[in-house]
Amino acid sequence: MIIPISYYLVLSGVLFGLGVVAFIFKRNVIAVFMSIELMLNAVNLAFVAFARAHSQLDGLVFVFFVIVVAAAEAAVGLAIVIMMAQNRESLNVERVDQLKF
Amino acid sequence: MIVPAIVFFACALLAVTGAILLILSREPIHSALSLILVMIALAILYLLLGAEFISAIQIIVYAGAVMVLFVFVIMLLNAGVEERTDFSKLAKFVGLPLGFFLLLVVARWLYTSRAGSVIGHGAEAVTQGFSTRALSAELFQQYLFNFEATSILILIAILGALVLARKNP
């Protein structure tokens, strides 16, 4: 039997929702970054499922670009995390409130 | 013929379990390991969808490079148990139920929408996977400009990371 594409989309939606929950509830800045990666992965799954459904390669090319952007974002983001750990001596996002009104 | 269904549901369960463990674990290193579990489950799902190249770069780039960077930073900073802070009452009693409601509505829409059902039926006609040859032809002909633009993006990201990580004079 062939799995319907809607199953993949539901799984993608559930993973994206869990990523949003993790993004909001985690207090460690590295864990917040990992939840962003989880959301990007969920979107990639939806892209591949749609590419499969329409038998077109454009979805896979988009997944390729999303992975490239995620890698660049992880490099810059982790550099910012290291700076933050050096300056604040804490990884808690609640402690970084200098720009908070 | 029942094997793809078993693989799909096993990988879906693995991915959702990994995502829930990412939320529940308080040590960042445990979160990182459960995220690697999610990525490997997704790579198997890409294989099931016939996208071998995407599955390979999911393992190599995501589970290999990006997550090694994460684990390296976690160990470098000696990140310990995450502190818990109190949430506001509004977030706890209004935000959480509304968030779950949104999740349910989106899942129901995806499941019952006309697009989903039509695509679901259309997919049964497709049996062969995507060939990497066709994907690379697409990438280096139609999307050549975008491909070159991402190389500039990577270069800028490297420069940004270098500038940020430089010792302050």
Q: Is A100 helix (H, G, I), strand (E, B) or coil?
A: coil
* pLDDT tens profile B62-76: 888 999 999 999 998
Domains of chain B, start order: 1-83 (1.20.120.1200)
Q: Which residues of B touch A11 (CB under 8 A)?
A: 12, 15-16, 45
**For each of chain B's 169 residues, which pLDDT tens digit applies?**
688 888 999 999 999 999 999 989 888 899 999 999 999 999 999 998 888 899 999 999 988 899 999 999 999 888 777 666 666 667 777 777 887 787 788 777 777 765 555 444 444 444 566 788 888 888 899 999 999 999 999 999 999 988 887 776 5
Q: Give dist(CA A2, CA B73) in Å, integer.
A: 41
Query: How is chain A split into domains, by residue range?
Result: 5-93
Cβ B25 vs Cβ A28: under 8 Å: no
Inter-chain CB proximity A2 and B66 less than 8 Å: no
Closest listed residue to residue B53, CA positions, set B43, B40, B62: B43
Q: Give dist(CA B64, CA B50) in Å, integer.
A: 21
pLDDT band at A57 (very low <50, low <70, confident <90, very high): confident
Q: Which residues of A touch B143 (CB under 8 A)?
A: 61
pLDDT score recorded for residue B86: 64
Is B120 part of the contact surface with chain A (CB cutoff 8 Å)?
yes
Nearest Cα of chain B lies from the Cα of A84 at a distance, in angstroms, of 10
Q: Is B20 helix (H, G, I), strand (E, B) or coil?
A: helix
- Facing A5 at nearest CB: one of B57, B116, B138: B116
Nearest Cα of chain A lies from the Cα of B122 at a distance, in angstroms, of 7
Alpha helix ranges (H) inside chain A: 5-25, 29-54, 58-88
CATH second-level architecture of A5-93?
Orthogonal Bundle (1.10)
Q: Give dist(CA B159, CA B157) in Å, integer.
A: 5
* pLDDT tens profile A10-36: 899 889 888 988 888 888 889 999 999
Inter-chain CB proximity B150 and A68 less than 8 Å: yes
* Predicted-complex ipTM score: 0.90
**Per-residue b/e over A35-61, b at no fewer than 16 CB within 10 Å?**
bbbbbbbbbbbbbbbbbbbeeebebbb
